[in-house]
Amino acid sequence: MSIAAGKVVSIEYTLTADNGEVLDTSVGDTPLVYLHGADNIVPGLERALAGKDTGDEVVVVVEPEDGYGEYLDELVNTVDRDMFEGADELEAGMEFHAESPDGESQIVIVRRVDDDEVTIDANHPLAGQRLHFTVKIVDVRHASDEELAHGHPHGPDDHEH
């Protein structure tokens, strides 16, 4: 069965940076399972996997605009330290969940901590980077009506929303 919209796809992958550093991998662990056509993975990888079959191996280079986007300086802001009430220790590199202006949940990374100010970055950690994927298609199946309605695959024990 070929990968197409509405199919649940299981892949084994390794993601590397331009310099060859491994950024993420599922090799030796549980495959990544996603619903094709539902924006569950970066667009460049999803396009490259369309039409592939179980057992196929694919090497894909995804440019930033088809991955996690370009790095945007306007997503780096300085806020008052009291915005982190309840966080006893603040250090560069820490990640926090925040609410974006449109009400969506997003992750922000602390870039710098000064006396009364904290510099945060709302860019995805891989924004602006070219992504190198090595992928093996492990399985392709039809999505259930419920999976299609929810926009993501469900595991063998279903899931919670």
CATH class entry, domain 73-121 = mainly beta
pLDDT by residue (tens digit) across 97-118? 888 778 888 889 999 999 889 9
CATH 3.40.50.150 fits 7-68+126-150, yes or no: no
For 17-46, what is the mean pLDDT? 97
The residue extents of the domains of the chain are 7-68+126-150, 73-121
pLDDT by residue (tens digit) across 81-92? 988 887 778 899
* pTM score of the predicted model: 0.84
CB atoms within 10 A of CB 151: 12
For 126-154, what is the mean pLDDT? 96
CA dihedral 59, 124, 19, 36 (to 10 degrees): 0
